[in-house]
Structure 1
Amino acid sequence: MIKKCLIAFAKEIAKYPLARHLRKEVERYKWWKEFRNSNSKEHLINVPLEPRILIVTSVGENLNALALDVVLAKALESRNAKVFILMCDGVLDACMNCEIQKFQSLSEFQEEGSASLCKGCIRTGKIFTESAKIEVLYLSRYVDNSKDEVNIQDIESANAGTFRFLAIGSKANAEFEAVLPKFVKGANKARNAIETCIAQEKIDIVVAHHGIYVPQGSAVSAAHNLGKRVVTWSQSYRRGTYLFSHDDTPHKMQIEEKYDSKTLNDSEKDKVLTYLKSRDAGTNDWIRFGIVDNSTTELPLSIKQVSTALLLTNVNWDAQVHFGASIFLNMEEWMLETIDWFQSRPRLQLIVRIHPAEITGTVPTRDPMAAAIRRRFPNLASNIIIIPPNSNVSTYSLFPKADLGLIFGTKTGVELTASGIPTIVAGEAWIKNKGLTLDPKSKLEYFDLLSHFEAGEIFEGPDIDEALAYAYHYFFRRMIPVSSIKPIPFFPYARPIYNPNWEKTDPGLVNIIDGIIFGREFEF
């Protein structure tokens, strides 16, 4: 029966985007048999708790999230937890599944919201969760349309959803104003419904992918409002690994995180140096953005042997969602004001490397930084070198040319400091507040640092051993390997291969489950 349903589903999803990849996954239905047959209790560990845990997957077509969520659910069940997966069944006006390229026009979204996407999304989620034999709760059961008072939490989730939907980084935009109301309604409805769900089902712990958008950000808000523990997670860079955090999204928690900066032994140092070298082409990553041609090592001929600053951008909308404002209004303002400062200083050189994910990311930007630069500087000075997102020049090949690194929120700050390059952080990057970077508290202080650079002052670079210790912490302790997930080279990029003996075979999953149940730190 299940096989017939899956085959019928494969035919149905042929009508939808990504159908070819989804169809391949559905045809591999056999790998779900492991879940259907994994209800044995022989591996139970005696724990003093029987927590009730709500996993807020919600978006049925987010198979990447579902892959890990079902593994978490089965592992938690084997620890005597009562686990529910919460799925949306078409009641939200807008959600994370909504992206502008999925609609024929903006007016279609304004009129219908997420409705045109719901049918396929609900079917996908239902088939995979039912095959895994996990108890599923549906959002409609808890919706109360009379609760429509919007709060600041709803606005934050809605803003994040709107930035992502439009793939732009500014609210001062007619499109933003047109789209935001749908996400506000969706966020408000989701938060209220999840608060009701938590109360009615007596939930102790809420687990949410990302913890930012609608409805996952709404779930975090609901849990906080009711004083419940929150765990969030996201897929990390190293292949087969995940980032988990307590209380809020990993993107925010990493900024203030304290870490053990103990000196690495030779084996650990070799391990992190080997990995950092592989980051150039992303050979050990499952999140990679660059299009690097290792046979092409030539850098732009215009790069001169003068005092050089290397400015690395983020994707504009992503920077707004993950990091927000700091001493500048946003990343674009920081980039343009920095270019303006260097324009009038021809003895200095500024290389601007625009993030490759502007075109290779899951949600390509509609707000490209090269266009913003052209609008502001139609006649760019010769000492400003722009390397576009589609360039096959490796970002890492630019490091030896740089006397100073300038970043807003990019995680490449980890690699800059590990390379010994003095780095100024103008936004809210993860490398900030670790004692490895220059972290100005105002625009005045930021440009004062640049003035010292102009005067020929040589900034003391970060202690490389300490920078490598943080890189090791970030890439090998915080990024937890899960062998119960098999990375695959096509959508959804992750396939669950849950083993009932996971306590013995998957130490990373043990670490995560202990963190969820007991509140232990998520470090491997």
Structure 2
Amino acid sequence: MSLESALSVALTLRGAEAHALLCDGALPACAECEASLYPRIERFVRQGPQRDLCRDCFWPAERVYSELGIRVHRYSDWLTDEDRHAAAEIAGRHPVEDIHDLVIDDLPIGEHALAGALRFFATGSIDAEPHGEAVLRRYLEAAVLTARATTRLMRAIDFQAVMVTHGIYVPWGIVSTVARREGVRVVTWNVAYRKRRFIFSHDDTYHHTLMNEPVEHWQDTELKPQQERELMSYLASRREGLFDWIVFHRPTRQDPHEIAAKVGVDLSRPVIGCLTNVSWDAQLHYPANAFPSMLEWLVQTVEYFAARPELQLLVRVHPAEISGFPVSRQPILSELKKRIAQLPGNVIVVPPESGISSYALMSLCNAAVIYGTKMGVELSSVGLPIIVAGEAWIRNKGITHDASSPDEYFRLLDRLPFAGRLTPEQQARARRYAYHFFFNRMIPLPFIEPKAGYPIFQLRLDTFDPLRPGATQGLDLICDGILHGKPFHTDERRERRVAASV
């Protein structure tokens, strides 16, 4: 069973009629496809995933749902020959430079197609990819087919809610946008940082909702001493990843002064941290971003600091570039050096393969500038001032300095170095949000078991009893959200016993 099939059973046990929509090889590209799986990408361009990935994708899922008594819909059942012809024609007709902004029937088809192609290549741009355009056109064709199939399905059956993982890429992002247009409530989910926990969101991908959720959910809740200890203990554990699903490196304990000497930082001059993120991840349109891409932000940041020799910029390249899944095919340092061949002397770069802890590096800093990394939540909790230029989830919380244009960003940089760390009031606010983020928004499911490989978890269910109403508070909360639109955060309802054990 998968998480989604288990949720189908749980919803059925609560009186709902659950359906499953499965691709039966009808799409010419999808989120399961990655360049790393195709040593010869021209093979994927010619024949897509049907001769390999599709063979082992559809039938196991269909068998599980059928054995559970869940009604299964196949994509091909909701597509016609005219749909297939039209999708191929649309994918071949539009100029490649226009695809990102392509909207069809009020659906941002092109945005999700491009996000899917970037994920396929694990890169922030397809411009340098020899087969980039051909792969993008496959994703565009798949997006059009998904839109047509799901539109027809949702108009034939009166669904009350649709649940998808991520809520972006192809097909999940297209399913979400069709549902919203058709007036069907949307629920998205993804694996959370903490083991056995998941993030669910209403209406949109969590990449958007976590930036924009109402601050009333957390800002007025003072942390009790036990909660603060619990939070700080967990944040300390993240340095080694003891309670998390994914760990990019396991650094040993390191003395900050030794680290400074090792990387070449002069502690007599102010140091500003700069944390990158993976360039291909969740490449959607974020209206509040100050720059069009992380690379452009990084280039202009380095150029700015070249004119501020009294400061040092300590760039930490995200370890997930080489240890994440999929591995990035566009190393940010290589891209930076294409634009700035000789880095300024006051810019120090710690590469992704370095075993030096990012937390230890940031302890050397007066402040940090970030684009989309999640570390802003943690660093602000320990008092470090943060300047945000991109889609980081700490944005819009009244904690960080948020820039929505280059001019605004550079005005913030002009204020560096800051006079001090966050005030006690600011740090308390940061910790209230961090607690909400790591403890209330990440919903525990104790029947989920971490495992090596992909996927990173498996279900530990001998019977359906843990799926029944009242058996698991986290599952009750998720089902209440799906069925009745209730918030997906635990507040005081969370299972403290589970939290203590994970």
Find the aligned partners of 2:249 and 2:411 in 1 and give their Cα distance: 33
2:218 to 260, 277, 298: 260
Distance change (3 Å), C-alpha of 1:292 and 1:131: farther
Q: Does 1:278 align with 2:241?
A: no
Deviations 1:423-462 (A, max 9, x none): 10001211101000001232112112212216x7557557
Residue 345 of structure 1 is matched in structure 2 by 308
Letter paired with 1:299: I
- Within 5 Å, give how 1:308-347 maps onto structure 2: 308-318=271-281, 320-321=283-284, 326-347=289-310
Find the aligned partners of 1:227 and 1:173 in 2 and give their Cα distance: 40
Q: Does 1:304 align with 2:269?
A: no
Letter paired with 1:450: L
Q: TM-score, normalised by structure 2?
A: 0.87
Q: Does 1:434 align with 2:397?
A: yes
Distance change (3 Å), C-alpha of 1:289 and 1:295: same
Q: Is the 8 A contact 1:419 1:464 kept in 2?
A: yes
2:41 to 106, 122, 126: 106
Question: Deviation of residue 215 (structure 1)?
Answer: 1.0
Residue 118 of structure 1 is matched in structure 2 by 54
- Within 5 Å, give how 1:406-417 maps onto structure 2: 406-417=369-380
Residue 325 of structure 2 is matched in structure 1 by 362
Question: Deviation of residue 200 (structure 1)?
Answer: 2.0
Letter paired with 1:126: E
Residue 475 of structure 2 is matched in structure 1 by 509
Find the aligned partners of 1:83 and 1:393 in 2 and give their Cα distance: 48
Find the aligned partners of 1:324 and 1:121 in 2 and give their Cα distance: 36
Distance change (3 Å), C-alpha of 1:120 and 1:464: same
Find the aligned partners of 1:324 and 1:360 in 2 and give their Cα distance: 30
| Structure 2 unpaired stretches of 5+ | 91-103, 491-502
Distance change (3 Å), C-alpha of 1:319 and 1:183: closer
Residue 402 of structure 1 is matched in structure 2 by 365
SS at match of 1:137: strand
Residue 144 of structure 1 is matched in structure 2 by 80
1:244 to 184, 200, 213: 200
Distance change (3 Å), C-alpha of 1:350 and 1:121: same
Deviations 1:100-148 (A, max 9, x none): 1111322112111222221122233234434444332211111124243
Letter paired with 1:143: L
Question: Deviation of residue 342 (structure 1)?
Answer: 1.0
Find the aligned partners of 2:403 and 2:34 in 1 and give their Cα distance: 36
Letter paired with 2:10: A
Letter paired with 2:222: T
Find the aligned partners of 1:401 and 1:295 in 2 and give their Cα distance: 12
Find the aligned partners of 1:449 and 1:295 in 2 and give their Cα distance: 31
Q: Does 1:218 align with 2:180?
A: no
Residue 83 of structure 1 is matched in structure 2 by 18
Q: Does 1:156 align with 2:111?
A: yes
Q: Does 1:371 align with 2:371?
A: no
Q: Does 1:470 align with 2:429?
A: no
Find the aligned partners of 1:379 and 1:106 in 2 and give their Cα distance: 33
Segment drifting more, 431-440 vs 458-467: 458-467
- Within 5 Å, give how 1:160-175 maps onto structure 2: 160-174=115-129, 175=131
Q: Is the 8 A contact 1:67 1:485 kept in 2?
A: no
Find the aligned partners of 1:199 and 1:333 in 2 and give their Cα distance: 42
Q: Is the 8 A contact 1:324 1:330 kept in 2?
A: no
Residue 290 of structure 1 is matched in structure 2 by 249
Q: Does 1:230 align with 2:189?
A: no
Deviations 1:11-64 (A, max 9, x none): xxxxxxxxxxxxxxxxxxxxxxxxxxxxxxxxxxxxxxxxxxxxxxxxxxxxxx
Find the aligned partners of 1:322 and 1:444 in 2 and give their Cα distance: 20
Find the aligned partners of 1:289 and 1:133 in 2 and give their Cα distance: 40
Question: Deviation of residue 291 (structure 1)?
Answer: 4.1
Find the aligned partners of 1:378 and 1:198 in 2 and give their Cα distance: 53
Residue 152 of structure 2 is matched in structure 1 by 196
Question: Deviation of residue 156 (structure 1)?
Answer: 1.7
Q: Does 1:488 align with 2:441?
A: no
Residue 97 of structure 2 is matched in structure 1 by none
Q: Is the 8 A contact 1:351 1:386 kept in 2?
A: yes
SS at match of 2:259: coil
Letter paired with 1:332: L
Deviations 1:364-401 (A, max 9, x none): 11110111222233322232111111111111112221
Distance change (3 Å), C-alpha of 1:197 and 1:74: same
Letter paired with 1:392: G
Distance change (3 Å), C-alpha of 1:468 and 1:322: farther
Q: Does 1:73 align with 2:8?
A: yes
| Structure 1 unpaired stretches of 5+ | 1-65
Segment drifting more, 403-412 vs 168-177: 168-177
Q: Does 1:500 align with 2:465?
A: yes
Find the aligned partners of 1:489 and 1:111 in 2 and give their Cα distance: 33
What percent identity do the matched residue pairs reach? 36
Question: Deviation of residue 497 (structure 1)?
Answer: 3.0
Q: Is the 8 A contact 2:260 2:266 kept in 1?
A: no
SS at match of 2:138: helix
Find the aligned partners of 1:260 and 1:196 in 2 and give their Cα distance: 40
Q: Is the 8 A contact 1:296 1:392 kept in 2?
A: no
Letter paired with 1:155: G
RMSD between aligned alpha carbons?
2.0
Q: Is the 8 A contact 2:316 2:358 kept in 1?
A: yes
Q: Does 1:519 align with 2:481?
A: no
Letter paired with 1:111: R
SS at match of 2:401: coil
Letter paired with 1:75: A
Find the aligned partners of 1:322 and 1:451 in 2 and give their Cα distance: 27
Q: Does 1:207 align with 2:163?
A: yes
Find the aligned partners of 1:489 and 1:272 in 2 and give their Cα distance: 26
Q: Is the 8 A contact 2:239 2:250 kept in 1?
A: no
Q: Does 1:382 align with 2:357?
A: no
Question: Deviation of residue 201 (structure 1)?
Answer: 2.8
Question: Deviation of residue 205 (structure 1)?
Answer: 1.0
Q: TM-score, normalised by structure 1?
A: 0.83
Deviations 1:75-117 (A, max 9, x none): 0000111111111100001101110111132211211122222
Segment drifting more, 223-232 vs 512-521: 223-232
